[in-house]
Amino acid sequence: MDLQLLGLSFVTVFLAEIGDKSQLAAIALGGSSKYPRAVFFGSTVALVLASFLGVIAGGGVAQFLPEKLLKAIAAFGFLLMALKLVWITESD
């Protein structure tokens, strides 16, 4: 196992998930539930399953497209998101 890749994946996903909608939903459910452990386990399984599906999809796409093209598509997607964030911020 590549420990550097493991650490990078952990840090990236951990930082990306802080304060997102799923965490806010878990906070709301955990605060209003008599069974916060059930909320914890349910949200944990959901995140693991979503991550699993993402890794499987990424691995499948990587078999058909070259690495440079995948990186270019990802960079273009992030660029579009950044431009949208800037555009929405300026119009407010």
Task: Determine, yes or no, domain membership for 60.
Answer: yes
Task: Determine, yes or no, domain membership for 50.
Answer: yes
Task: Determine, yes or no, domain membership for 73.
Answer: no
pLDDT 10s digits, 25-48: 889 999 999 999 999 999 999 999
On the question of pLDDT at 8 being above 80, the answer is: yes
**Range 42-50 contact pairs with CB under 8 angstroms and sequence separation of 24 or more:** 46/22, 47/17, 47/22
Domain assignment of residue 46, given as a range: 3-65
Task: Determine, yes or no, domain membership for 86.
Answer: no
pLDDT 10s digits, 41-70: 999 999 999 999 999 998 899 899 998 998
Three-state secondary structure readout of the chain? CCHHHHHHHHHHHHHHHCCCHHHHHHHHHHHHCCCHHHHHHHHHHHHHHHHHHHHHHHHHHHHHCCHHHHHHHHHHHHHHHHHHHHHHHHHC
- Number of domains within the chain: 1
